[in-house]
Structure 1
């Protein structure tokens, strides 16, 4: 069995000669990363794998900087995006295991009066439905600036600002009747953590997950922190297919907060998922809840069925086994 955490960095664009694949023999992981760079035109792709026996192998393909052509750093830091959701869900489920939160209790019990809008009522939305994306809450990221990677990427958002964006729009469906991915759910999960613990979300994530696992390259950026602390490939964004690549490495990640603000590295993510699925972060009852999934809508072009648990997606692989990701 092979557990791999893979992070792809950048967007479509011309690849410098220094990104050409090496002539030495390569395994399937490296071959897949080289296809991303050569065929899909990503500037860089990073990955880390851990075998059942604990052997770790890190990969880096492509370039870290399109301007200089510097090679991508092995195990470089990246913005981990929605992997953050799994970390957030772990902390909520730890609180469940401590008897401080109940999955099937409405979020209004913990955050009274906060979740309100057209067809939106926190008294009818449970904590489970937030973590499972069955709440019906609108996704606030759909209502951010039309140029999220333009100058607005330097704007700082408070979590309540993000909820205001969501709750001015009507609910997508009645809670528990359908499934729709919404970052709004995990902003509320972050606020739930802060309300129950009386401490900042970033601190709780660090004390409960990052520090116990020794994730040296993983952190929640402090307010106003727009860069990455350690060696990293630069991040690029194109407005459309074939569009020019813009360097968006420096950005304020507060618009993602508990739904996607984390900075990490491939090896740290691999260590995290290994520990989580190996039972080191949650009690058995809570890990079972996390891995209990509901069907997601079919995705165009998807080759396998994907199901969603509590901060985890379960994908059926062609070999008959299943893989879990954020």
Structure 2
């Protein structure tokens, strides 16, 4: 008779700024559910972007989590220590014929979108509002493409979505324990095609969020992914990558977001008040829990 392994939850912040109330809510939710189910709570450091990651921010993450009264299993996984894992996944997808290399810059992509809109054939936008970017030769001059390919110019690695979907013999679903943005719960099916040829890596970053998160979750045997509703639709990409790479599928729980007074999601990049600032003003862990409703 086999004994079921305890569930595994994780909180995976990026060390590119201080934690705010939204991070506190997600961390507390993961920790609380892990305790209630007799599971393990992990902290993972999403430091793939070494250009923005700072040791001081990482130290502050651990300090803030401990101040909130949370503890976690060791060792802590750092994405920057597992780059070969992401490169191997990219190589596997490439050998399947599912990776295309785009040498278009962000400025050229924006210009191409403008030209298409003016011609009455606008590009689609993905669920995050970004462009579903077509093949380079549809909007870049041939001589530009030839020169960049000959000189091995920096490239963005994109999943060939149509080819990837052709490998499916049934719709992909996932188990949603909470309610999605439109009340979705239970077994949910989402369409990865909405994302177009999504970015999986770049010359300077060997794995995008979408690729690294599924590799990390599998490597750490994460059974329950508890995160904000802003990532609900991205689960379609993650399920597709799990299928292509033969990885297990966690149970998902997309919780409500902590918003500011205007209804905007809190963000480090927008300079929203950090836990560090609230602590300096005298806030206690109990105050934080009251502020976020947990």
TM over 0.5: no
Please, what TM-score do these two structures have when normalized by structure 1? 0.28
Q: Give the helix-richer structure, 1 or 2.
A: 2
